[in-house]
Each structure stands twice: as C-alpha cells, then as structure tokens.
Amino acid sequence: MNRFPTTILATYRDCLVFAISASAVLCLSRLLLILLYWERVDAVQGLSYILIQGLRFDLLVICALLLPVAVLASLFGSRRRWLVLQRSYLVGVFVLLVFMEAATPTFVAEYDLRPNVLFVEYLKYPKEVLGMLLGGYKTDLVFGLSLVGMVGYGFLRLLRRGDREIDSMGWWRSGICAVLVLVLCAMGARSSLGHRPANPSTVAFSTDLLVNELSLSSLYSAMYAMYRESRHERGVQGYGEMDFAEIVREVRQDMALPTTDFLSSELPTLHRSQWIKPLDQPLNLVIILQESLGAEFVGALGGVDVTPRLDALSEQGVWFDNMYATGTRSVRGIEAVITGFTPTPARSVVKLPGSQQGFFTIATLLGNAGYDTSFIYGGEAHFDNMRQFFVGNGFQRIVEYKDYENPVYTGSWGVSDEDLFNRAHQEFSEVADIPFFSLVFTSSNHSPFEFPEGRIELHEQPQATVNNAVKYADHTMGEFFEQARTSSYWKNTLFLVVADHNSRVRGANLIPIEYFHIPALLLGGPVEPQVYSRMASQIDLLPTVLGLMGIDAAHPATGQDLFRLGMEDVPGRAIMQYNSTQAYMRGDDVVVMELEKPPAHYLRTDTGLQLSGQQDEALINRALAYSLWSTRAYRDNLYRLPAAH
C-alpha cells in the first residue's frame, strides 16, 4: 500500500511530462504572437484576458489529447508494450502541436488568422504548396522544420529519462483510476459547466478576430474549424433561425424584382427578368478572373500605381468603383462570379459534395443556349476542386497546365499569365460560328510571385514582390486586349474583368471591409463607357452580364441586374464572408453575424466598425435571411435550373 503513490506517479509520468511540455510550448508561442502583434493587443487592452483564457484553452487541448492515452495507461501502464505505444502517441501529437505553432507566424502574416481549415485543405495539394513554400518562404520552412525536429527529439529524450519498471496497481485500483482520469480529462476538454462546451466564441471579447484567436492554440483552431464545417454540411444553420417563408420574402425583396418575375414555389428564387430583350446575334462572354487584385493595388481606385493597363481600360468601358468581393479565397470569387451564390460559413460550393452536379452556373445556362463553354487556367485544374465542380456544372472544355506546349515561363502555380492569355486568344480565334463563354483565371499574382524577367519595369526591388507581380499580371492582360481588338471575335464579345479577392485580408475589425474592395470592368459588346459608383457585390455581376447579353432564360441567381431600369433607386449592398463571420453592408450600415452570437448592427466609420446605438432590426433580418437562404438552398437543392432544362 505504501508503494501505491509511487506507482500512480510512475503510471502517469509520461502524461504529466507531456502536459507540462505542451503547456510550455503553447505559452511561449502565444507570448511570441503577442509581441509580434502588440499594438493590436494593446489597442483592446487584451493582454491579461489573452493570457488567462490562453491557459484555459491550453488545458482544454492537453486534456483532449491525453484523454485516450491516460485512460489506457490506468489499465495497461505496467506493460512494456503499452509504454512503447504510449510514447509513440505522445511524441506524435507533441510534434504535431509544435509544428502547428511553428507554422503559425507565417500563416498569420498571410491570412491574419490562426491556422484554420484552409491550412488543412492546402495539404491536399503538395506540389503547389511545396513550390510556394520553397519559392517564397524557404527560410521560414527550414527554420520551422528544424525547430520542430529539435523540440520533438528533446521531448523524446525527456520521456526516456524516466524509464523504469512500473508496478501493477491491480485491476480494481486501475478501474477506479481509469474512471477518475476519464472524468477529469473530459471536464478539462469541455472546459465549461454550461450547456455548451467552450469554443472560439467564448474568447470573442473584441472586434479584432486575430487578437481573439491568440487565446487559442493553432491545433485547436484548425481542428475546430474542420469540426464546424462538417457539422454545417450536415445541415446546421450558423447565424440564427427564421421561418423559411420569411427567408424567401426577404431575399426576393433584396433582389428588387416584381413578384410576377418569380416562376416557382419549388425553386423560390427562380425568375425571368421580363425587361430583357434578346439580341439579334448572341454575344460571346469572356470572364477574366484576376488573382488577388484588391483595390489597394489599382491606381484608378486610389491604390498603388501598378495597374497602368487596367487604369487605361477603365475609361473605355463600365468601371465599377464600388465593387466588393464576397470572400478571401479564389473559390469564393468563383462561387460568386460563376454561380451568383452567396457565401456561407461552410466551404465554398465549389468544394461541397452536394453541389458537384446540377448546381446552377452561368456555364450551364449558356451551354443550354448553345454556347461553347470553357475554363482556361495556367495551373492544375484539380486545385481547390475546380475541375470536378466545373465538369459537373456546365463547362464543356478545360484547358490546364498539361495542355500547354513549350510555355514561355513556368512557376510554382503553373504557366505564366502571358502563356495563359496567348492560349485564350488562340482558343477564341478558333471558335467557329457558335457563340462561346470562357472563364480565364490568372495565377501569376500569387505568392511566391514568380514571373519572367524583362517584361516590365519593376515597381521595386527585388523582383518577387506582390507589387511587381500585380504589375506583370496587369501588363499581360493589357497585351491580351491589344491582341483581342484586332481579332475576329472582338466586336461580338462582352469582356468582364474582375478580381477574385484581395491579396491579403487583414485588420483589427470583425470584417476588414476595405480589403474586400475590388476592381471590376465591363468592355466590348453594347457597353458604353461610364463609371458605376453604386455599391455592388460580385454576385450582381452574373445577372448583369446576362442582361447585357440579352439572355432572358430563367435562373435562380439572387444578385441584382445593375442596369435594370429603376435600379438607381434601390440601395446598393454587399455581402462578405471573413473566416466564420459574415457581414451584410448597405451604405455605412453593416450587420455582422458571428457563429453562436446574435447578429449586431454596426456603423462603418473612418476608425473602423462601431456598434450602432440603435439596432436596425429590419436590416438585421435582411442579413440573417440571406445567410440562412444560402444554407437552406444548398441543403435542399434549391439553387438549380428546373428539371425541364
């Protein structure tokens, strides 16, 4: 009996060493991040809160990781084979914990958030990601992996120092200890006596999302994001509840269409705009989706002067100077521009399993109207699941990296933009007498910013910077339009140039709205030069181009046709998804919706978002309805063309 305390200590020694070591790593990592972003932490007076809540969430993670091994150690701790399995597990999860923290500073610098589901998704594309890391983050990669290796080896040696025979506690004592350990670890992992366990909303004490996330660990933030998305895809609604009839009424009102335009109770947003008149000759449509081209880079929008070709083109067509992206990823831009679908807290529909076939896209609509439809890309189309989504939803042909012979330049993300545009010009020139639609997606303006030398006068040194990459991408697009003007397809083609999202979205607001501001331009066809300054969203572009093309077919897109008669009297609005937070903006009024928190009405000011003194319930209902519509439409297959089509 006198040896029992010693036996207990020996049985759980490895677990205690893990707990102490993991706590030290997480605390040191958090302190480093606090130092790196001290101005933002200090601005919300968050130091003590972050440190206290950080200890809480570190304990949560440690208890969750230790739960299975600690329970089994109670039962099998005296067996030698168990010790080998236990240490293999502890070393493995410890190295994973250290790896996630080592990767955090670079990830935060890029996305202004701790690693989330995007971090995990990128691991599916090792070729592209490894090329990006070696090209732009070689020092970070070498340092991080070296640190992980050294810390992991040190932890293994620390475990081995305690090698000794462990006496058996006996089955009844082992059973009691297993139950006690199970209860303690479960309580620690839950970290709450309330109805819900602790989660990221528990530490949402400020409007700065990054500062809030400093209380978490990166392994926790990534795992929780994956868990939340899996729950959402099973039908969980994110931001609140509302009667479905009310959801439909609010969304239809936001579309600013007469009730007579809506055609179906089965597909609530299916409509046909009665004012559209078909053209004598169908227009071709080319959408040029520019990678990461935020307004901050565009001279015509007051940004850095690295887009001279786009600035010149802005005077030759319809220039949208108040356009907003729906998200911060390319798949969000594709989702908005190609499908007109509004964002949700889950992944883009480009990746969701229920939208891989029969989901509405402009390619499906135009394909039904006899158009040749294509996707032209310089990289590998499997990235971000684009190929599967496009093939299943109306794109007849895909041109990707493997289809380029003798490209001028190849980087981490595929061939250069000049190769891309040369191929696009070739494809369009070879189309015979049928109309065509093509999505052309650029990639040169992507970290590590690789492009051929000698094409542009560099904006700055060294060459591999975002400003130089933007200038190169702008140059190649300008050269394409010079070619297109002399082509056989120019006079009968409508061109839409629009960014998918900004380069890096960051800031101390729940929604850093200024980084969602993007350029958009319409050229060719019936377009007359003008500046369009009414607030608009990427989702408005699909119905707008269909109207200009004279396509009067029914479709379910909820965006507004910006040139429909009477739209000047309808307030503009934008919908933005930032990580798990969504915003609905109309003028300077912004409704912000966070998971597991009631929506709130803010005012956009020069110093950031400020909570409104008077909450506009009508505006809140409109925002909530839109977010719920997207979730319901995906879940119940409501965003499609009728079966007759």
The pLDDT value given to residue 194? 74
CA-to-CA dists, residue 545 to 133, 405, 434, 493, 612, angstroms: 38, 33, 19, 11, 36
- 3-state secondary structure at position 140: helix
3-state secondary structure 463-503: CCCHHHHHHHHHHHHHHHHHHHHCCCCHHHEEEEEEECCCC
Rounded to whole angstroms, the Cα distance separating 139 from 297 reads: 27
Question: Confidence band (pLDDT; 50, 70, 90) for 645?
Answer: very low
Rounded to whole angstroms, the Cα distance separating 151 from 140 reads: 16
Beta bridge partners of 538: none
Q: Rounded mean pLDDT of 586-599?
A: 93
pTM over 0.75: yes
Q: Is the pLDDT of residue 232 over 60?
A: no
Convert the pLDDT of each residue in 401-432 to its tens digit. Answer: 999 999 999 999 999 999 999 999 999 999 87
Question: Confidence band (pLDDT; 50, 70, 90) for 235?
Answer: very low
Rounded to whole angstroms, the Cα distance separating 458 from 247 reads: 51
- 3-state secondary structure at position 198: coil
Q: Is the pLDDT of residue 349 over 50?
A: yes
Burial class (CB in 10 A: 0-12, 13-18, 19+), 77: buried
Handedness of CA 115, 120, 121, 123 (dihedral sign): positive
CA-to-CA dists, residue 601 to 10, 591, 592, 593, 612, angstroms: 56, 4, 6, 9, 6
List the one residue out of 162, 481, 183, 154 whose CA is nearest residue 317: 481
Number of residues written out for the chain: 645
CA atoms within 13 A on the CB side of 283: 25
Indicate the CATH number of 247-428+442-635 among 3.40.720.10, 3.30.420.10, 3.40.640.10, 3.20.20.20.
3.40.720.10
The pLDDT value given to residue 1? 45
Total Cβ atoms within 10 A of residue 429? 12
Q: Residue 46 corresponds to which tokens in the numbers above?
A: 């968050």
Question: Confidence band (pLDDT; 50, 70, 90) for 533?
Answer: very high
The pLDDT value given to residue 4? 59
Rounded to whole angstroms, the Cα distance separating 564 from 541 reads: 12
Question: Confidence band (pLDDT; 50, 70, 90) for 118?
Answer: confident
Q: Is the pLDDT of residue 295 over 50?
A: yes
Positions of CATH 3.40.720.10 in the chain: 247-428+442-635
Average pLDDT, the chain: 90
CA-to-CA dists, residue 160 to 97, 128, 332, 581, 602, angstroms: 20, 39, 49, 45, 56
The pLDDT value given to residue 36? 94
The pLDDT value given to residue 178? 86
